[in-house]
Chain A
Amino acid sequence: MTLAADKNTDIVVPDGHVKLTIDGAEVVAPKGELLIRTAERLGTVIPRFCDHPLLEPAGACRQCLVEVEMGGRPMPKPQASCTLTVADGMVVKTQLTSPVADKAQAGVMELLLINHPLDCPICDKGGECPLQNQALKHGRTDSRFTETKRTFPKPIAVSSQVLLDRERCVLCQRCTRFSEQIAGDPFIELLERGSQQQIGTAQDQPFQSYFSGNTIQICPVGALTSAAYRFRSRPFDLVSTPSVCEHCAGGCATRTDWRRGKITRRLAAEDPQVNEEWICDKGRFAFTYTTEPDRLLRPRVRDAKTGELRDASWTEALRVAAEGLTKAKEAGGVGVLPGGRLTVEDAYAYSKFARVALGTNDIDYRNRPSSAEELAFLGSTVSGTNPEHGVTYGDIEKAPAVLLIALEPEEEAPGVFLRLRKGNRKHGNRVFHMGQWTTPAVVKTNGTLIPCLPGEEADMLGRLPSEVDELLRRPDAVILLGERAAEITGLFSTARELAAQTGAKLAWIPRRAGELAAIEAGALPTMLPGGRPVTDSVARAEVELAWGLETGTLPTAEGRDLAGILGAVANGRLAGLVIGSVDVHDLPNPELAERALDSGVFVVSLDLRESSVTRRADVVLPVAAISEKAGTYINWEGRRRPFPVVITGTNRLPDCRVLDTLAVEMDADLFTQTPAAAMADLGRLGHHTGNRIPAPSVDAGRPNRPGQRHAVLATWHQLIDHGSMQDGEPHLAGTARPAVARLSVDTAKAFGVADAALITVGTDRGSVTLLAEFADLPEGVVWLPSNSTPATVRTSLGAGHGALVTVTTAANGAAS
């Protein structure tokens, strides 16, 4: 933008730009820019309600009227500046210089307020309300309306978490446009007409969208409110702290509002490179888990006499833990399972603790199904990922084609899903989903399903439709792998080959927020921080130097992975375990894990809340929740997402601090007293430039084939399910997608369950019973949500993606 100091100067108008005058100032603007934006760049704020930079223009509210003159002729009426694009020679007068525009705006405002209840004193939006603010700035001081206002019963729940006070609505349609354009869930609409016009849902279908909370945030009035936050506080009483979402590997920027030590709400923060202005409902509403009654507040140790856990002081707990671990170390060794939700700082502390205090490489953060092939992939391909060289959200949006393999974006990476949808809508990119059925995400990304058996994905990559293969060869094409890739033999290897052959960029999008950080920190049996192979003497020497260790102190052999550690514990080769936030039910083999924990092994557990692990631990050390500590996540792009402490003064300790102190008790120094110290210590290691772990080379596995007696299981997590980090938020839980078992009509017939409402999917371990729904799955395949029922796929079936299962009519009528 160029601003003429003096009207006579000749302004150079670059190609593709036009010159116009706003309030007497000459402005150069790119062709196609909306007038309201050009004015904004000039510092002139034209009042508005419906206008939103990320939504398509609507011209619905008429608040943004300005006077416009084209070719010397004034347009007959004031024009909506949010729908009018700039043109050469346009002369615009906003409310600043035009009494006509000013009066028009005041008039629109007066009309908008006619039926508005003006209940600001009890309205959630009061204090941060564009209507309130703009009415004061651009409205009349009084209303000429003396008649009775139209009223509606209030509020109506458009979903369990979004409440609508219709009389406050100014019909700007931001909410409906967001739902339709951004989320692809047009379940709220403008209903009725005239003075009865109102937002609403269909009678039989609530506003079910994983992104519904965004409508609350962008509603320019208090018409849409959150059931969880309604009447809890006034915005001006809250402290707002920037934060980062802990729920998936997306790394969305959020803002946490809190007061008196309690979080009242979470909002989307703006980050154009990552989440733009949107977050999913899990990121917005799932924060109450940290204040559940089972939150651990004090250390506990197992009483020698009673055998029960009892509260203990930090001093005692740390001493008992240190003694126990030292003993266990001598008695065979200690394994470390940090879990996949840590910050880099905390993960680094576990990594260093294992090596320095326990002298072992027996550490694996992967508290989920995993494989040796994956481990090689993480070392060779994922470690060191960064937005400069890897795939970014922006790349996904602009890619000509994106192939998703074993990744259900809306359920497992909602931010990625929104970018895929945007890419398709704005740039027409092609999205291919290799999966088992036409999920909502396939439809909403206007995508194409490449169907295959669960487990057959790797093999399928060798037989891609020629159209896909060709599109992947276009510059900037992208291949994305999901968490369950680890359950598919040969997928990492074949995906790498495909990327190399086609030139497409390859990225891995895990489900948990801490995965990339844990890889970076070396919380894996084969890798030291920065992806340095533990077997590489140069790499070890680098780390030994930085950590001030004598040469040759670091263990030289690769450690045990998760299954190895649990197995070694179960058969007595390992005598101790240090476990971070790990839920036994997430593990590929919960039974083995429980047996291991019950085998008399010495367990130190660092956790937020009571769990199946803390209950079996010998020492429980409580740690700080995300809002009580500072730290850094690394999202799937490899982008660092640092965040400060939100709630100050809780005295809760982050994992890195607890481990640092524990290490001191064991005569080792981690230098991770604070997250900042841990980060600095990690920084001293610098980038790894030496050898990397070799890439995996595993042939595509032969998938289980369905037969007469067995079907093949496809499974993944739904975004909103029984995950413990969604505890304590019933309004959010109410918007979960219903848990159903999916299979094709033919499969149902083949297994004789075509007429059954409830079907039972079983293994020799147990069963899951659910309502059946028909979908376009391959023959002989049945799909289950991994963790949406009390009986879960991992715990009750002991099975995973690609396993053989039985399908029968439910014995009794009850879903489990």
Chain B
Amino acid sequence: MTEMLNDVFGQDTRTKAQQLIARYPQSRSALLPMLHLVQSVEGFVSQDGIRFCAEQLELTTAEVSAVATFYTMYKRKPCGEHLVSVCTNTLCAALGGDAIYARLKEELGSDGKPLGHEQTSEDGKVTLEHAECLAACDLGPVLQVNYEYFDNQDPDTASDLVAKLRAGERPAPTRGAPLTDFKQAELQLAGFFEGRDLDVAGPSAAKETLRGNTVAQDRGWSAPVMPDGVLPPVPEKKK
């Protein structure tokens, strides 16, 4: 069985998995990033991926499955090159998010059948999902491609964006890092930047988001001083 997994997850991935484990006092804490690591290889969490994590962390496959099925960021079917997440939570939905999602469903579908949630277009380029609040309500409706923001969208801009993605282009997000692909983004979520550290260097906050802060600075407002917090000691590394 181990041999089989070696084919899927090569030495490089195993080394990365060990690096993840080394980051935490308890090895099982590494499960969340490790599931992202697995997605960076296969584009989803496969049964092999679950076994890989279980072996690395000395957990049972049931324990890994419990976590992998709980979080929606872990995909259980192979994803396309890009993951497009359209916010359809209350605010974005009201501002047009529902319309964006409806349009993309139609356009990405085939044989007259709209694409469903977490399904992938036939060309394998785009996986579509509707998402809960993406924490950019002030810029709604928003969508994300591989978790990078495209703010203030409407059905036309979104449709245009997706068309470009399918044509192999990688349009620049409104803010944040340049676009890569889903697997690359997953590797970053696992904590490996492979020389692209600048991607996360920021700043990626939008003007709208910082508006309150700017006003406060202009007027010399500040929050009351917090007492110096003493951080708890880092626990000892367990097996």
- Interface residue B47 (Cβ < 8 Å from any Cβ of A): yes
Enumerate B22-72 residues with CB–CB distance to A below 8 Å.
47, 50-51, 59-66, 69-70
Compute how far the CA of A203 lies from the CA of B64 in the bound complex, rounded to whole angstroms. Answer: 11
B47 touches A204 (CB 8 A): yes
Contact A186 B70 (CB under 8 A): no
Minimum Cβ distance to chain B for residue A188 (Å) = 6
Chain B residues near A186 (CB-CB < 8 A): 59-60, 62-63
B239's nearest neighbour on chain A, judged by CB, is A446
Interface centre among B59, B62, B64 (most CB of A within 10 A): B62
B63 touches which of A189, A192, A203 (Cβ 8 Å) = A189
Chain B residues whose C-beta falls within 8 Å of the C-beta of A191 in the assembled complex:
65-66, 69-70
Contacts of B65 in A (CB 8 A): 189, 191, 200-203
The total number of A-B Cβ pairs within 8 Å is 41
Could you tell me which residues of chain B, from 59 to 105, have a CB within 8 Å of some CB in chain A?
59-66, 69-70
The answer, among A189, A203, A204, A205, for a CB contact under 8 Å with B66, is A189
Any chain B CB within 8 A of the CB of A680?
no
Q: With an 8 A cutoff between CB atoms, is A749 at the interface?
A: no
Known: A190-B66, A191-B69, A192-B69. A203 touches B47 (CB 8 A): yes
Cα(A186)–Cα(B70), bound, Å: 17
CA distance A191 to B62 in the complex (A): 9
In the assembled complex, the Cα of A203 lies from the Cα of B61 at a distance in Å of 8
For residue A187, CB closer than 8 A to chain B, the reply is yes
Min C-beta distance of A694 to chain B, whole Å: 47
Bound form: Cα–Cα A201–B61 in Å: 8
CA distance A215 to B7 in the complex (A): 38
**Count of residues in A whose CB is under 8 Å from the partner chain:** 15
Those of A276-291 within 8 Å (CB) of chain B: none
- CA separation between A69 and B193, bound complex, in Å? 52
When A187-B62, A203-B65, A205-B61 are in contact, do A192 and B70 touch as well, CB less than 8 Å?
yes
Q: How far is the CA of A622 from the CA of B65 in the complex (A)?
A: 52
User: Closest B-chain residue to A446, C-beta based?
Assistant: B239
Q: Which residue of B lies closest to A203 (CB)?
A: B47
Shortest distance from the beta carbon of B6 to any chain A beta carbon, whole Å: 15
Bound: A205/B47 CA distance, A: 11
Specify which chain A residues have a CB less than 8 angstroms from the CB of B62 in the assembled complex: 186-189, 200-202, 205
In residues 136-188 of chain B, which contact A (Cβ within 8 Å)?
none
The answer, yes or no, to whether A193 is at the interface (CB within 8 Å) is yes
Interface residues on B, range: 10 to 19
- Establish whether residues B61 and A193, one from each chain, have CB atoms under 8 Å apart when the complex forms: no
On whether the beta carbons of A193 and B69 are closer than 8 Å, the reply is yes
Q: How far is the CA of A203 from the CA of B60 in the complex (A)?
A: 11
Pick the residue among B60, B63, B70 that contacts A193 (CB under 8 A): B70
**Bound Cα distance A185, B62 (Å):** 10
Chain A contacts for B63, CB-based, 8 A: 186, 189
Question: B60 — which chain A residues lie within 8 A by C-beta?
Answer: 185-187, 202, 205
Which of B47, B51, B64, B66 gathers most chain A CB within 10 Å? B66
- The complex places the Cα of A784 from the Cα of B65 at a distance, in Å, of 32
Please give the distance in Å from B174's CB to the nearest CB on chain A.
Answer: 30
A187 — which chain B residues lie within 8 A by C-beta?
60, 62
Please state if B64 and A202 are interface contacts (CB–CB under 8 Å).
Answer: yes
How far does the alpha carbon of A189 sit from the alpha carbon of B68 in the complex, in Å?
11
- Complex Cα distance, B47 from A753, in Å, reads 30
A205 to chain B, nearest CB (A): 5
- Shortest Cβ distance from A176 into chain B, in angstroms? 8
Check A202/B70 contact, CB under 8 A, given A186-B62, A189-B63, A191-B65: no
- The CA of A193 and the CA of B71, in the complex, are separated in Å by 8
Nearest residue (CB) in A for B66 is A189
Task: With both chains docked as a complex, state the minimum distance between the C-beta of A193 and any C-beta of chain B, in angstroms.
Answer: 5
Question: Which residue from chain A places its CB closest to the CB of B71 in the assembled complex?
Answer: A193
Query: In the complex, what residue of chain A is closest to B2 when comparing beta carbons?
Result: A774
The complex places the Cα of A201 from the Cα of B69 at a distance, in Å, of: 12
Cα–Cα, bound, A188→B61 (Å): 9
Q: What residues of B have a CB within 8 angstroms of the CB of A193 in the complex?
A: 69-70
Are B69's CB and A202's CB within 8 A?
no
- CA gap between A192 and B50 in the complex, in Å: 15
Least CB separation from B58: chain A residue: A443
Contacts of A200 in B (CB 8 A): 62, 65
Q: How far is the CA of A709 from the CA of B77 in the complex (A)?
A: 51
Residue on A nearest B59 in the bound complex, by CB = A186
CB-nearest residue of chain A to B1: A204
Across the interface, which residues of B come within 8 angstroms of A185, CB to CB?
A: 60
Q: Which residue of B lies closest to A196 (CB)?
A: B69
List the B side residues contacting A188 at CB < 8 Å: 62
Distance (whole angstroms) from the CB of A235 to the closest CB of chain B: 30
| A205-B51 Cα distance, complex, nearest whole Å | 10
B72 to chain A, nearest CB (A): 8
Q: How far is the CB of A236 from chain B (nearest CB, A)?
A: 35
Q: How far is the CB of A191 from chain B (nearest CB, A)?
A: 5
Q: Name the B residues within 8 Å of A205 (CB-CB).
A: 60-62
A185–B60 alpha-carbon span in the complex (Å) = 8
Contacts of B51 in A (CB 8 A): 204
Nearest residue, chain A, Cβ from B51: A204
Interface centre among B47, B50, B65, B70 (most CB of A within 10 A): B65
Scan residues 113-131 of chain A and give those whose CB is less than 8 A from a CB of chain B.
none
A157 to chain B, nearest CB (A): 15
Distance A5 CA – B231 CA, assembled complex (angstroms): 50
Q: A203 — which chain B residues lie within 8 A by C-beta?
A: 47, 50, 61, 65
B34 shortest CB reach to chain A, Å? 16
Q: How far is the CB of A742 from chain B (nearest CB, A)?
A: 15
* A-side contacts of B70, CB under 8 Å: 191-193
Task: For the complex formed, measure the closest distance between the CB of A744 and the CB atoms of chain B, giving whole angstroms.
Answer: 15
Instruction: Report A-chain residues with C-beta under 8 Å of the C-beta of B59.
Output: 186
In the complex, chain B residues whose CB is within 8 Å of the CB of A201:
62, 65
> Least Cβ distance of A80 to chain B in Å?
22
Q: B99 → chain A, closest Cβ, in Å?
A: 26
Provide the A195-209 mask, 1 if CB < 8 A to any CB of B, else 0.
000001111110000
Expressed in whole angstroms, the minimum distance between the Cβ of B23 and any Cβ of chain A is 23
What is the CB-to-nearest-CB distance from B135 to chain A, in angstroms, rounded to a whole number?
19
B130 shortest CB reach to chain A, Å:
15
Bound together, the chains give a CA A202 to CA B76 distance in angstroms of: 13
Q: How far does the alpha carbon of A741 sit from the alpha carbon of B112 in the complex, in Å?
A: 56
For the complex formed, measure the closest distance between the CB of B63 and the CB atoms of chain A, giving whole angstroms: 5
B50: A residues at CB distance < 8 A:
202-203
Distance, CA A201 to CA B59, complexed state (A): 13
Q: B198 to chain A: closest CB distance in Å?
A: 35
Q: For residue A206, which residue of chain B has the nearest CB?
A: B62
Interface centre among A186, A187, A190, A202, by most chain B C-beta atoms within 10 angstroms, is A202
Once bound together, how far apart are the Cα atoms of A192 and B60, in whole Å? 17
Residues of A475-492 whose CB lies within 8 A of B: none
* A189 contacts across to B, CB distance below 8 A: 62-63, 65-66
A185 to B61 Cα, complex, angstroms: 11
**Distance of A189 Cα from B62 Cα, bound (Å):** 6
Docked CA distance A187–B63 (Å): 7
- Interface positions, chain A 165-217, Cβ under 8 Å from B, are 185-193, 200-205
CB distance from A455 to the nearest CB of B (A): 31
CB-CB nearest in chain A for B61: A202
A180 to chain B: closest residue by CB: B63
CA of A188 to CA of B64, assembled, Å: 11
**Alpha-carbon distance A428/B204, docked complex (angstroms):** 49
A188 to B65, CA, bound (A): 10
Chain B residues within an 8 Å CB radius of A190: 66
Closest to A193 in B: B70
List which A356-395 residues lie within 8 A (CB) of chain B.
Answer: none
Give the residues from 193 to 226 in chain B that come closer than 8 angstroms, CB to CB, to chain A.
none
- Nearest chain-B residue to A207 (Cβ)? B62
A–B Cβ pairs within 8 angstroms, 10 of them: A186-B60, A189-B62, A189-B65, A190-B66, A200-B62, A202-B61, A202-B64, A203-B50, A204-B51, A205-B62
Known contacts A191-B66, A192-B69; can you find 9 more A-B pairs with CB under 8 A? A186-B60, A186-B62, A186-B63, A189-B63, A192-B70, A200-B62, A201-B62, A203-B50, A203-B61
Give 5 closest A-B pairs by Cβ, nearest first.
A202-B61, A189-B66, A202-B62, A189-B62, A202-B65
